[in-house]
Amino acid sequence: MATIDDLSRELGGLRGRRVLVRSDLNVPLDGGTITDDGRIRASVPTIRRLADRGARVVVSAHLGRPDGAPDPTFSLAPVAERLGELLGAQVAFATDSVGESAQATVESLHHGRVALLENVRFNAGETSKDDAERGQVADRLAALADAFVSDGFGVVHRKQASVYDVAQRLPAAMGQLVATEIDVLRRLTRIPERPYVVVLGGAKVSDKLGVIDNLLGKADRLLIGGGMAYTFLAAKGYEVGNSLLEADQIPVCREYLERAADRGVLLLPVDVLVTDRFAADAVAEVVRADEIPVDRMGLDIGPESAKAFAAALADARTVFWNGPMGVFEFDAFAAGTRAVAQALTEIDGLSVVGGGDSAAAVRRLGFDETAFGHISTGGGASLEYLEGKKLPGIDVLDAGEREGQRPLNAR
């Protein structure tokens, strides 16, 4: 895949060139205030690098899930301000993403300066399943630039206009964030140092079951906690009360349990913390995993399980962790997540944390981010990569795949 250096060489330098960068600036907002700017900070190195080389940097990004039409609650305006603070230079903000404001903003943009275009999902074509509809948005984005840099790792698993189609229309390269993320994922999938341990949890159970299929043959141990554990416990025939359960996935979980049985790769909680309601002041009670009362819900792994998971991580040389072990947002149910995070900081090898909430948990529980090998900005994208799926936003940058398309050095 071409890098920014390759792009610069092919274009005879970046000075004065309009470079469109797709970044992932999808940060959590609370009434217009950014509550966690991790994704903006992760996007800065590539933007700064292009600006330092004199490019006219045009950033395209999305925020939330607007309905394909302008909606002020999903405006990127607060993000433009924060990005400017982090860059130490004002960021010009276009009030539309591919329209008149975008054109005028880019036209008046000086060398080495940065502009942010309004939420690209204000166009229905951005996320359309129809190639022609996406193509229209991509054409308009491409008309704003001389080259494209793909750096929104959190969206590279999406076949969307600003991620995929635009890359077919311009000389394209990957940014530094995408390069780092892909490098880490390759280290996980090629020849991981063993023992290779994967920890899965969180609430998006059906989204994450697919990765287990692929990992069962690759990881030495697979630890399952969080909301995901209860569908497995149900598959073992246990009562799970009011815990998170995806009943239609029970057969799949049963099959995984059977495949893993002879090798003991799959570890489930042996005890859990239950309570009677989902609330911040709910009182936790420890029960055995096969003795969950019908009127209780499990909101964290129990102390025995936390100990067993930490022990299973202790000698690991490679760890991938996605999904909190419990409802860490409630203090009484944060211990399982804390124990796993702690174990990851102590391993001698590569530890990778993937997933928006997992990364947020690490920060919220007061861990030093640098104690982990890598904190990924893209949960869905990393899981799909580990599942063995193709990432359209990456494949489209691949030199081989680009054959027959507009070559890198086309003007």
User: Which residues are part of the catalytic machinery?
Assistant: 39, 204, 356, 380
Least distance to Mg ion, CB of residue 265, Å: 25
Nearer Cβ to ligand ADP, position 211 or 394?
211
Cβ count within 10 A of residue 289? 22
The residue count for binding ligand ADP (CB under 6 A) is 20
Q: What is the DSSP letter of 201?
A: -
**Residue ranges in 183-212 that form contacts with ligand ADP under rule CB under 6 A:** 201-204
Per-residue x/- track, 259-298, ligand ADP (CB under 6 A): ---------------------------------------x
Nearer Cβ to ligand ADP, position 66 or 323?
323
Nearer Cβ to Mg ion, position 154 or 356?
356
**Residue ranges in 326-355 that form contacts with Mg ion under rule CB under 5 A:** none
**Residue ranges in 211-230 that form contacts with ligand ADP under rule CB under 6 A:** 226-227
Give Cβ neighbours of residue 281 (< 8 Å, ≥ 6 apart): none
In 16-68, the DSSP E strands lie at 18-22, 29-30, 33-34, 56-60
Give Cβ neighbours of residue 289 (< 8 Å, ≥ 6 apart): 233, 238, 268, 269, 270, 271, 272, 302, 305
Near Mg ion by CB under 5 A: residue from 125, 356, 378, 392: 356
Q: Which residue has the tokens 């309570």?
A: 275
Cβ count within 10 A of residue 257? 14
Residue number closest to Mg ion, CB atom: 357
Residue type, 124: A
Nearer Cβ to ligand ADP, position 160 or 382?
382
Nearer Cβ to Mg ion, position 151 or 357?
357
Distance of alpha carbon 4 from alpha carbon 111, whole angstroms: 17
Give Cβ neighbours of residue 366 (< 8 Å, ≥ 6 apart): none
Contact 351, 329 (CB under 8 A): no
- Number of alpha carbons in the 13 Å side-chain half-sphere of residue 409: 4
Q: Does 322 bind ligand ADP (CB under 6 A)?
A: yes
Distance of alpha carbon 79 from alpha carbon 93, whole angstroms: 10
Considering CB distances under 5 to 8 angstroms, the limit depending on partner class, which of ligand ADP, Mg ion, none binds residue 244?
ligand ADP
Considering CB distances under 5 to 8 angstroms, the limit depending on partner class, which of ligand ADP, Mg ion, none binds residue 134?
none
Nearer Cβ to Mg ion, position 58 or 361?
361
Least distance to ligand ADP, CB of residue 299, Å: 5
Distance of alpha carbon 148 from alpha carbon 40, whole angstroms: 19
Considering CB distances under 5 to 8 angstroms, the limit depending on partner class, which of ligand ADP, Mg ion, none binds residue 60?
none
For the chain, first and last CA: distance in Å? 19
Near Mg ion by CB under 5 A: residue from 174, 357, 380, 392: 357
Query: Which residues make up the interface to ligand ADP (CB under 6 A)?
Result: 201-204, 226-227, 244, 298-299, 322-324, 326-327, 329, 355-358, 379
Query: Which residues make up the interface to Mg ion (CB under 5 A)?
Result: 356-357
